[in-house]
Structure 1
Amino acid sequence: MAKTDSTGSTWRYRWAHRQNERRHRTYRSAEAAWRRRDDELRRLRGLAADLQGSAAAGAGLPLELAPDEVVLWVWPAAQLVEVRHTAVLPAPDLTVHPEIGPPRTRRPDGIRVADAGTAVITSRRLVLLGGRGRRDWAYGKMTGLAHDPAAPVTLIQVLDRRRTSGLMLPADAAADFRFRLTLAFADAIEQRATVLDQLDELIAEHAELKPFRPAVATPGQARLSALVPGGRRTVAIAAALALLVPAVLIESGPSDPAGVRAVAATPGVSPSAVPALIRPATAPSAPAPSASPTPRKPKPTASPSSSAERRCGAPVNPMGYDFCGGYRIRKPAAETCDHFDCAQEFWAGRGYLVQCRDGVVSLTGGSREACAGHRGVRRTVWT
């Protein structure tokens, strides 16, 4: 026997069942995506804490190590790439960008493959042992480093080489290569703790985004609009048509072709019904004397307002800084404090831009003392 409510109907139970199925599908999909990123962040955190190289890891490689040099990672399938045109890369930094999916495998335009061989990350340099020789990129001579976000290509500039070059790895190995290279560079400048702090912050921020289990829909929450195919949207369209069609007829007149076209183009109106809709109920009156048409003033077009900009609660500012996401700001513009409430000793900070819990912004993001005296970090400022 089918379940019924107090009115003896079953449609409310069917509606509740469909709603619960839809809510749980959405929740399971969101939770799976959240868990994948959480697992990846925690994996990187463990790798950053435990990664220790050894000279034995490079056994069998035609590479002579310095007395204090150790091998951190080896990958046998890498390609040496060179940039055809001169390019200026951003300075190396310690920003971690966890990637959930592998990038595309197509080589970017303007990049040519010059050699192939084994990539080796040591505590002092990145090395390619290729078929045409060896290529070294010493961390102490790096002036530029860039990871292509859409392709597994990493480009490097060093002081002793004019041409920009780098490595292209298989797509499934690119993320690990980039992270280990960041750790090796951090060790070279004695800043691994900064990477650990950054990962701790990313894990804490991600924990706050965990999706909540949806509430259970009950038959009593069903509305009569659920009986109409399309639900509330269909009811809203029908109400809009009820107001739109008379207005079109009044504006155009019974013999105006534009009115016919407007009514025929209205969603939900059958073309066969157009003659009946525009047929006059009474005989048309005599045409009024023609008068010189009065030009209508064009309606001013609404310009994009600053309230529609993507800021996620950040104050209006010409720099484009927001709380939505993007890239961390380590060198803020000089006019930052004209638009944000800056903390005391703001320009003495050595980190990236964050907003503290009391509302001020500070340049101490990524450090253990971030927003000290301001109740801690609330969120990151992005560009």
Structure 2
Amino acid sequence: MTARRPGPVGSHPARRLAWARRENERRRRAYETAARDWRRHADHLDRLRIEAYGFHGCPLPGTPLPVPLDDGEVVYRILPVVELVTATARHVAGLPPPDRTLLGRLDPGDGPLPAGLRVVDAGAALVTDRRVAFAGADGRHDWALHDLLGPGHHPDRPVTLLHRADGAPPSGLRMPAPGLANARFYLTLAHADATGARAAVAADVEAMCALHRAARPRPPRPLGPSDAPPERMPARRLVAAGVAMAAVLLGVTSAGTWPATAGPNQPAARSAAPAPADDGPVGTGSAPVTPTTPAVTPIGTRASGDSRSVRGTPRPHRPPDRTSPGPRLAPAAHPRPPIAPAVRERPRAPTAPPVTPTGPAPGTGQLPPPPAAPSPTAAPSPPVDPDPTGGAGPTGSADPGGAGTRS
């Protein structure tokens, strides 16, 4: 049976009170666990401080030991299971140097050997006030404390190297994680006692105790219903709310842009279309100006008082494009000034007086009517052929003197 995950905290007072009770219980258990571990480590440091000031070894008579003791030799620590390690070279980067400090060295992690070290044997070891003795399957190996520069405790691996003063490649012991803190402490204490540096080890332990007291866990503050977090909407509801909001935004946008995209035959377009401008007076030689179409003079017309003819091409009417997907822009509120068409000078016509167009103004979608025929009275008289009998015409004589002769 799978555990049911508690839902989000609501605004109901009973739910907020239940959340406060669960959270207080969880924090209380976490605090008790941390406080228990802290007290256990504090007791261990107190014992180490006592040992640093007053412990000087134990003879252990009648106890089976991996290595027999010499006369007057006392035991500091027995290491029942260890491995003998040695360095592949005299100087290997990354190996711990000789140092008697214990700060940050009592709780290293477990893992593989550092680069440059290899295991050569396994067995048991003994730490006394004179030496560190190892007994394994391949024989024994002793390190005299007076000949050591000091133990080098690796901060991240359970390895302690014993550096000799003669410059030989370092070797040491790899110890199991359980009991590693006590083994390192007693080995360091034995070397410090043999070299007269016991006070340094005691000061190191005092510093560790002070840091541990400063890191004491504090009890948590009790929580109440007012500390409950606000209600969080589940993921499904968040998705549904997002979809609904997107639909509302799309609807508002579509409603706002429909009149602009409507065709000319739709009600919205008819209501939004501007009213046509009134035509100007006829016969003035210029067409009324509209906001979007400049005035154009038809072909064959001349302005009043000007002998040059103006050629212009009326703009044909183009129906609105109903298939265009984009919106159409409304006419500008303030019309721009008309742009005069290009004027080109033509040779003067000897005949054809100026004719004023009487049809609709250009730009209304209709072509201007053709120019009217010239009046008969305005045309010159056609020439009269001479009389076939040889007589003079009605307006002239045969000779300059007025008396003509016939041949």
Cα offset for 1:83?
1.8
How many residue pairs get aligned? The number is 243
Identity of aligned residues (%): 35
- Structure 2 CA distance for partners of 1:146 and 1:277, relative to 1, 3 Å: farther
DSSP-derived class of the 1:129 partner = strand
1:40 aligns with 2:11: no
Contact persistence 1:80–1:114 (CA under 8 A)? yes
Cα offset for 1:130?
2.5
Contact persistence 2:98–2:163 (CA under 8 A)? no
Aligned twin of 2:262: none
Aligned twin of 2:232: 229
Aligned twin of 2:247: 276
Cα offset for 1:209?
2.7
Aligned twin of 2:364: none
Aligned twin of 1:324: none
In the TM superposition, what are the counterparts of 1:315-354 in structure 2 within 5 Å? none
Contact persistence 1:145–1:157 (CA under 8 A)? yes
Q: 1:140 aligns with which of 138, 146, 154?
A: 146
Aligned twin of 2:170: 164
Gaps of 5+ in 1: 1-6, 239-266, 288-383
Between the aligned partners of 1:276 and 1:62, the Cα distance in structure 2 is 84
Deviations 1:336-380 (A, max 9, x none): xxxxxxxxxxxxxxxxxxxxxxxxxxxxxxxxxxxxxxxxxxxxx
- Structure 2 CA distance for partners of 1:161 and 1:65, relative to 1, 3 Å: farther
DSSP-derived class of the 2:178 partner = helix
Aligned twin of 1:82: 86
Higher deviation after alignment, 145-154 or 179-188: 145-154
1:91 aligns with 2:98: yes
Cα offset for 1:187?
0.6
Contact persistence 1:145–1:156 (CA under 8 A)? yes
Aligned twin of 1:153: 159
- Structure 2 CA distance for partners of 1:196 and 1:25, relative to 1, 3 Å: same
Residue type of the partner of 1:229? R
- Structure 2 CA distance for partners of 1:77 and 1:211, relative to 1, 3 Å: closer
- Structure 2 CA distance for partners of 1:268 and 1:83, relative to 1, 3 Å: farther
- Structure 2 CA distance for partners of 1:277 and 1:122, relative to 1, 3 Å: farther
Between the aligned partners of 1:42 and 1:129, the Cα distance in structure 2 is 32
Contact persistence 1:89–1:157 (CA under 8 A)? no
Between the aligned partners of 2:97 and 2:138, the Cα distance in structure 1 is 29
In the TM superposition, what are the counterparts of 1:105-144 in structure 2 within 5 Å? 106-143=112-149
RMSD: 3.7
If you compute each CA radius of gyration, which structure gives the higher value, 1 or 2? Answer: 2
Cα offset for 1:166?
0.8
Between the aligned partners of 1:154 and 1:8, the Cα distance in structure 2 is 61
DSSP-derived class of the 1:10 partner = helix
In the TM superposition, what are the counterparts of 1:189-208 in structure 2 within 5 Å? 189-208=195-214
Between the aligned partners of 2:214 and 2:184, the Cα distance in structure 1 is 26
Contact persistence 1:82–1:113 (CA under 8 A)? yes
Residue type of the partner of 1:276? A
